[in-house]
Amino acid sequence: MSEFFRTFLSRPAGIVGLVLLVIVCLMAVLAPLIYPGSPWDMAGMPFARPGEAGMLLGSDTLGRDIASGIVHGARVSILIGLASTLTALFIGVTLGCIAGYAGGMVDGAIVRFTEIFQTIPSFVLAILFVAILTPSIGTIILAIGLVSWPPLSRLTRAQVKTVTQREFVQAARCQGQSTLSIVLRHVLPNAVSPIIVAGSLTVAAAILIEAALSFMGLGDPNFMSWGYMVGAGRTVIRQAWWMSVFPGIAILLTVVAINLVGEALNDTLNPRISRA
Amino acid sequence: MSLLQIENLVLGLPEGADRLRAVDGISIEVNRNEIVCLVGESGSGKSMTAHAILGLLPAKVKALEGAIRFGGKDLLKLPAREMRQLRGSRIAMIFQEPLTALNPLAKVGSQVAEAIRIHGKAGGDVEARVVELFGQVGLPDPASIISAYPFQLSGGQRQRVMIAMALSNDPELLIADEPTTALDVTTQRQILDLILDLQKKRDMGVLFITHDIGVVADIADRVVVLRHGKVVEQGEASTVLDTPQTDYTRDLLDAVPGRGAIRSVRDDTTPLLEIKNLQKVFTTRQSMFSKPRRVVAADDLNLSLQRGDTLAVVGESGSGKSTLARMVLRLIEPDNGVINFDGASVRAMKGEALRQFRRRVQIVFQDPYASLDPRLKIGESIVRGPMAFGASRTDATKTATRWLEKVGLGAHALDRFPHEFSGGQRQRICIARALALDPVCLIADEAVSALDVSVQAQVLKLLAELKSEMGLSVLFITHDLRVAREIADRIVVMQNGRIVEQAPAAALFDQPQADYTRRLLQAVPGRVFFERRELAGSAA
Amino acid sequence: MSIITSLTGKIIGIVFTILVIATINFILIHATPGDPAMVIAGQSGAADPKFIADIRAAYGLDQPFLIQLGTYIGKVLQFDLGYSYRQRADVSALILDRLGPTLLLTLSAFFVSLIGGVFFGALAGKRQGTWADLAISMVSLLLYATPVFWLGLMLVLVFSIQLGWVPAFGYASIRASSFGPWDYAMDVARHLILPVLTLAAIYMAVYTRLMRSSLIEVSHEDHVRTARAKGLNERQILSRHMLRNAAVPVVTFAGLQASALIGGSVVVETVFSWPGLGRLTYDAVTARDYPVLLGLFLIMSVLVIATNLLTDVLHRLIDPRVKGR
């Protein structure tokens, strides 16, 4: 385990990502302490430029503090990113495992089903889902989870299939180890790291989908979100660039951070173990 | 003057490699109209030497000292442009892996034509020239095969294409880097004959790199024996092979399997393992609507393994021999047929019975790199077995230690990871893992095929010792008749999922019945030489 | 496998996919809290009771569930996607009307991203470790993490508002109707630049990264060494034996990205007021015009399938092994 951290920390890009990610998470957790009031409340005059009227990043068309919105928006992004990825992992890993182990007809049916889901324009399905079931944190998480599982399912299936065919797994079967022990001790540890990496990248993708949904006006009206802020500032971009620029940078940095961490994880977890 | 002169060549490896120099001061000559074999085990530097001639070394390997003289010039100092003019025209090269050496996306004919055009010898009809070359290397229907893609050809055919490409500009020197290693033994024989024939017709000098001293005996005019980047011995092939001057050459020659007394067979009443009418067909389909592809892996197989015997199953790739091993252990389910072990039907076993059966029949796989869990310590990999059958961790560790010592590794191996061991050591660990369960029968699935010949000899010796000590019965799967001869009491020859011959080892080697067996025997590299050597040895 | 069987397979696959999507639509309609007829009508508060009754009859909403499903799928297969009560028009007519601009946008973005990705990826891969590689890799890392809509807005901010080089919004100038055909085309092209760049940028980043690693992988392959041993120079090796091989996984992957590309067009059209399916989607979302949304979902899925077929053709063109298998 200590070796794991050492390899991870030997990658500067990974460290940058990790630091950024920690900052975003701290913002999410400490939002009520940093900006105690509601981000929806008017904090000063509308259209204040960054630095004016005591507002670091300026205010929006209704005089709401952009900085407060960004700090509070981190909560929604992180929450939705994690929860929808867990949903997607649950669906994807379950289906992938079943397909990989069972093989035959079951496998064929699941592969076919996954392929169809990959043809569906996932963002449009998410829009449809949220619009019809009315936007809320719950429906958004469900919608993003529902459209993000197919790559995870394919990956899990492929991993389970290759690892179970590896000779050390067959040797373990011949050693008389129970199926459960083989799966837990040999198959999963050797199959799981690409899935962890893919999962971390799914979090980034989920945050982008959430931002796009709330940009389209399909966010949860009770929570401030970055996508919503960009969408709200869009119509006045000629007069007030800061309203859309800063929330966008917040999204960009968060997603970059997660991608960097994901890649560092990938380098750490998958050093050509198979042939090393 | 000789065609090629390598003088005191030193190739430096990058930092962190297992040694500083891949090649350390070797000198070799190749003359017109002769075949020089560069022979050595893995890591001897033989391939590096070959690549250095054409400047094809990996970026991190640098020529530090010496010279490679060809046509009055030092190739190491040649400007890139002049080197390119030599490559593929006056000096040509063929490689080990015919599967990957050709561009998968281009037609084979155009790949050969490119070699002709690039050197400006496009005068006349290039396509006709390619067809002619394809004819010379014995490709069937040359006129239509020029528009085939590599994936449509067999391994042997691809190697013929490579040879045609190499010959396309009438080179003076041909460098062949293990050109037959990836091929089945009968295909290897054809390719060797082809190279010999073309070399004679064209007065070419050939530098032939190989690890197989049998191949050397078949084709070499002169031999250079390499070890750890240094020349151990060189000279006329007949001299070096018949009267080797160094211990290493002698060891290499002695390590080649397939000599010594052939075992005679006792007839027993009840076989330990009996297989009747075993059938298995694999069907794969690309999509839901395409026609499935059928591969027959087992077509009505009948064989039996007597207690205390070693039964070798010999066949080329695709013969179904490995599938057979896996079906015995029920790692693959057969379609039909009977497998009886000690009188009980293996196919009827379920749950605990199957587990107990697998304890008594253990397997050692081919690839020593894939058969140990990379995330587990060696000790852990071994103790899992006995512990699965109720041994305490302390007892299981004792067993593991005992077996590790027995296979020559010692207790300190327990706490180390697989990647810290060499291929041969890993194979010993796999044997220890199998034997720690106290089996009565051992299945060795190409267990020594991935190993260098000297390591192979050690592992075979270990297996033979353990076998006689424990009274094991062994089902030995191999593609190499020489290995089978070394270890087997009885031999089964398989081809395309069918048994073509089955006989006691002695009978099979003395009087092969099936046509295919005869072809296999004749294809064994160095057969004539080793038979002669054997006779001389027993006379002395 | 012959072309015919592979084609039949494809068509059966497409029909099957459409059936599944129609079923998802149907389930969504019924999953709504409230009256499915209201969903189909578009949840307009002042829905005319007679219209609701018509919908009930047309979709057999008093029939058992499976028969309703059958009726719905039957309608879909006849390209009857319902009636938008808000826009007072057939959904299929609305969609057909907007199809052209979307095709123009997505196809341009598809090719721009693919060509750009292969180009920059090859450049970075060939110069592995140099500043060019580093710069390309950094930019693609950032682009890959950029929200599409925000990237669009930033491009507008810089290239339209600050620099005034290209128009910010719309499909053509207001005066466009007075232009000749050539001027009109140029006008549309000028309007097309920013939306295409926005949509293409993210996928270009993905393809660049993929192409880079693919080219590096190919450069270690045996057949490249063969080409070198033949006497080819580095440029010939790159153009004849590496580029095509390295592009194969990129094209395969582009097929998988088709659904994301179509999804991205929704956001991009919203940002640029591009009068295509995406803009229609935004309007339908804002107005909660469900029949239009459901129809759009179906049509966009068909577009994804079409893009998949296109990448299949591309794949066949560059990789002979596909046909032979």
CB contact under 8 A, C141 and A259: yes
| Chain A: partners with 3+ C-beta pairs within 8 Å | B, C
Nearest CA in chain C to B148: C320
A230 token code pair: 């960009």
Judging by beta carbons within 10 Å of its beta carbon (0-12, 13-18, 19+), is residue B478 exposed, middle or buried? buried
- CA-to-CA dists, residue A208 to A138, A255, B333, angstroms: 17, 8, 47
What is the DSSP secondary-structure string of C195-208? HHHHHHHHHHHHHH
Which position has the higher pLDDT, B470 or C7?
B470
Q: Kindly report the nearest CA distance between residue B532 and chain C, in angstroms.
A: 39
**pLDDT tens-place string over residues C291-324:** 888 888 888 888 888 888 888 888 888 888 775 4
Our count of domains for chain A comes to 1
Of B81, B104, B119, the CB nearest to C321: B104
User: What's the whole-model pTM score?
Assistant: 0.82
CB contact under 8 A, B389 and A176: yes
pLDDT exceeds cutoff 70 at C46? no
Predicted pLDDT of residue C207: 93
Query: Which C residues, 187 through 216, put their C-beta within 8 Å of a C-beta on chain B?
Result: none
Q: Could you tell me the pLDDT band of residue C3, with boundaries at 50, 70 and 90?
A: low
Inter-helix orientation angle A2-9/A242-269, to 10°: 130
**What dihedral do alpha carbons B332, B336, B341, B343 form, nearest 10°?**
160
How far, in whole angstroms, is CA C277 from its chain's centroid?
A: 11
Instruction: Please tell me whether residue B97 adopts helix, strand or coil conformation.
Output: coil
A35 part of contact set with chain C, CB < 8 Å: no
Predicted pLDDT of residue C325: 39
Range with lowest mean pLDDT among B187-196, B367-376, C22-31, C138-147 = C22-31
H or E element in which residue B495 lies: strand B490-495
A3 token code pair: 């070796």
- CA-to-CA dists, residue B231 to B25, B39, B241, C27, angstroms: 8, 10, 15, 77
pLDDT exceeds cutoff 80 at B259? no
C235 part of contact set with chain B, CB < 8 Å: no
| Residues forming a β-bridge with B147 | none
CB contact under 8 A, A256 and C141: yes
CB contact under 8 A, C149 and A215: yes
Nearest to C257 by CA among C184, C195, C214, C307: C307
Alpha helix segments (H runs only) across chain A: 2-9, 12-34, 66-102, 104-119, 122-132, 137-165, 167-174, 179-182, 188-215, 226-234, 242-269
CB contact under 8 A, B105 and C226: no
Predicted pLDDT of residue C83: 76
| Residue B157 near residue B141, CB atoms below 8 Å | no
pLDDT exceeds cutoff 70 at C52? yes
Predicted pLDDT of residue A276: 29
Rounded to the nearest 5°, which phi and psi values hold at B339?
-125, 115
Report the amino acid identity of residue C136. Answer: I
Select from C8, C230, C308, C314 the residue whose CB has the most chain B CBs within 10 Å, as the one to mutate to test that interface.
C230
Of C9, C12, C226, the CB nearest to B101: C226
Nearest to A77 by CA among A201, A205, A235: A205
Q: Kindly report the nearest CA distance between residue A133 and chain C, in angstroms.
A: 6
pLDDT exceeds cutoff 60 at B287? no
A104 part of contact set with chain B, CB < 8 Å: no
Instruction: Tell me the C-alpha distance between B511 and B504, whole Å.
Output: 10
**What dihedral do alpha carbons C175, C180, C182, C183 form, nearest 10°?**
-30
Q: Kindly report the nearest CA distance between residue A248 and chain C, in angstroms.
A: 6
pLDDT exceeds cutoff 50 at B518? yes
C78 token code pair: 């006849």
How is chain C split into domains, by residue range?
2-77, 100-322
| Residue A192 near residue A186, CB atoms below 8 Å | no
Rounded to the nearest 5°, which phi and psi values hold at C113?
-65, -40
Hey, what CATH class is B2-90+172-255 in?
Answer: alpha beta
Of B358, B363, B374, the CB nearest to A276: B374
Judging by beta carbons within 10 Å of its beta carbon (0-12, 13-18, 19+), is residue B511 exposed, middle or buried? exposed
Rounded to the nearest 5°, which phi and psi values hold at B475?
-105, 110
Predicted pLDDT of residue C167: 77
Q: What is the ipTM of this complex?
A: 0.86
Select from B377, B384, B389, B426 the residue whose CB has the most chain A CBs within 10 Å, as the one to mutate to test that interface.
B384
Size of interface A-B (CB pairs under 8 A): 71
H or E element in which residue C306 lies: helix C290-318
CB contact under 8 A, A172 and B369: no
Q: For residues A250-275, b (16+ Cβ closer than 10 Å) or e, as one string?
A: bbbbbbbbbbbbbbbbbbbbeeeeee
C323 part of contact set with chain B, CB < 8 Å: no
**Number of residues assigned to chain C:** 325
- CA-to-CA dists, residue B274 to B10, B307, B321, B341, B487, angstroms: 57, 11, 16, 6, 20
Predicted pLDDT of residue C4: 62
Select from A132, A210, A253 the residue whose CB has the most chain C CBs within 10 Å, as the one to mutate to test that interface.
A132
Rounded to the nearest 5°, which phi and psi values hold at B286?
-75, -40
Answer yes or no: same fold for B2-90+172-255 and B271-539.
Answer: yes
List CB contacts of B279: < 8 A, sequence separation 6 or more. B298, B299, B300, B301, B334, B335, B336, B337
A59 part of contact set with chain C, CB < 8 Å: no
**What dihedral do alpha carbons B340, B344, B348, B351 form, nearest 10°?**
-120
Contacts of B89 in chain C (CB under 8 A): 231
Of C16, C259, C296, the CB nearest to A120: C259
DSSP-derived letter for residue A52 is G
Nearest 5°: the CA angle C132, C134, C140 is 100
Q: What is the mean pLDDT of chain B?
A: 87
Q: Could you tell me the pLDDT band of residue A139, with boundaries at 50, 70 and 90?
A: very high
Of B56, B106, B286, the CB nearest to C229: B56
Instruction: Tell me the C-alpha distance between C259 and C17, whole Å.
Output: 13
| Residue C136 near residue C208, CB atoms below 8 Å | yes
CB contact under 8 A, C241 and B104: no
B286 part of contact set with chain C, CB < 8 Å: yes
CB contact under 8 A, C147 and A116: no
Predicted pLDDT of residue A272: 45
Q: Kindly report the nearest CA distance between residue A190 and chain B, in angstroms.
A: 8
pLDDT exceeds cutoff 80 at C96? yes
Domain range for A157: 2-275
Instruction: Tell me the C-alpha distance between A198 and B519, whole Å.
Output: 52
User: What average pLDDT does the segment B505-514 reach?
Assistant: 87
HEC profile for C75-101? HHHCCCCCEECCCCEEHHHHHHHHHHH
Which position has the higher pLDDT, B254 or A202?
A202
pLDDT exceeds cutoff 90 at C204? yes
CB contact under 8 A, A127 and C147: no
Predicted pLDDT of residue C44: 53
Range with lowest mean pLDDT among A223-237, B81-95, B350-364, C175-189 = C175-189
C221 part of contact set with chain B, CB < 8 Å: yes
Nearest 5°: the CA angle C71, C73, C79 is 110
pLDDT exceeds cutoff 90 at A46? no
Per DSSP bridges, beta strands B62-70 and B4-12 are antiparallel
Instruction: Tell me the C-alpha distance between C70 and B171, whole Å.
Output: 73
Over pLDDT 70: what percentage of chain B? 95
Q: Kindly report the nearest CA distance between residue C231 and chain A, in angstroms.
A: 33
Instruction: Please tell me whether residue B334 adopts helix, strand or coil conformation.
Output: coil
Q: Kindly report the nearest CA distance between residue C5 and chain A, in angstroms.
A: 18
B114 part of contact set with chain C, CB < 8 Å: yes
HEC profile for B384-438? HHHHHCCCCHHHHHHHHHHHHHHCCCCHHHHHCCHHHCCHHHHHHHHHHHHHCCC
Nearest CA in chain C to B82: C231
A177 part of contact set with chain B, CB < 8 Å: yes
Predicted pLDDT of residue A268: 78
Contacts of A248 in chain C (CB under 8 A): 146-147, 150, 153-154
**pLDDT tens-place string over residues C207-249:** 999 999 999 989 988 899 999 998 899 899 999 999 989 998 8
pLDDT exceeds cutoff 60 at B265? no
Predicted pLDDT of residue A117: 85
Judging by beta carbons within 10 Å of its beta carbon (0-12, 13-18, 19+), is residue C121 exposed, middle or buried? buried
Longest dimension (CA), chain C: 81
- For residue A22, what is the domain's CATH number? 1.10.3720.10
Nearest to B379 by CA among B361, B364, B399, B400: B400
H or E element in which residue B293 lies: strand B293-305
CB contact under 8 A, B370 and A166: yes
List CB contacts of B329: < 8 A, sequence separation 6 or more. A174, B358, B361, B363, B443
Q: Does CATH number 1.10.3720.10 belong to domain C100-322?
A: yes
pLDDT exceeds cutoff 70 at C1? no
Q: Kindly report the nearest CA distance between residue B208 and chain C, in angstroms.
A: 16
User: What average pLDDT does the segment B200-223 reach?
Assistant: 91
Range with lowest mean pLDDT among A120-129, A168-177, B33-42, B284-293 = B284-293
The architecture (CATH level 2) of B271-539 comes to: 3-Layer(aba) Sandwich (3.40)
A173 part of contact set with chain B, CB < 8 Å: yes
Predicted pLDDT of residue A79: 93
| C-alpha count within 13 angstroms, C-beta hemisphere, residue C267 | 37
Instruction: Please tell me whether residue B180 adopts helix, strand or coil conformation.
Output: coil
Instruction: Tell me the C-alpha distance between A253 and A204, whole Å.
Output: 10
C38 part of contact set with chain B, CB < 8 Å: no
Inter-helix orientation angle A122-132/A137-165, to 10°: 140
**pLDDT tens-place string over residues A47-84:** 777 877 777 787 777 778 888 888 888 998 999 999 99
User: What average pLDDT does the segment C41-62 reach?
Assistant: 69
CB contact under 8 A, A237 and C156: yes
Residue B218 CB neighbour total at 10 angstroms: 23
**pLDDT tens-place string over residues C245-265:** 999 889 888 888 888 888 899
pLDDT exceeds cutoff 80 at A26? yes
How is chain B split into domains, by residue range?
2-90+172-255, 104-170, 271-539
Judging by beta carbons within 10 Å of its beta carbon (0-12, 13-18, 19+), is residue B260 exposed, middle or buried? exposed
Nearest 5°: the CA angle C271, C275, C281 is 70
CB contact under 8 A, A124 and C267: no
Predicted pLDDT of residue A274: 33
Of B119, B149, B291, the CB nearest to C321: B149
- CA-to-CA dists, residue B338 to A212, B239, C49, C72, angstroms: 62, 54, 74, 55
Report the amino acid identity of residue B105. Answer: L
| Residue C210 near residue C221, CB atoms below 8 Å | no
DSSP-derived letter for residue C176 is G
- CA-to-CA dists, residue A178 to B104, B370, B389, angstroms: 43, 20, 10
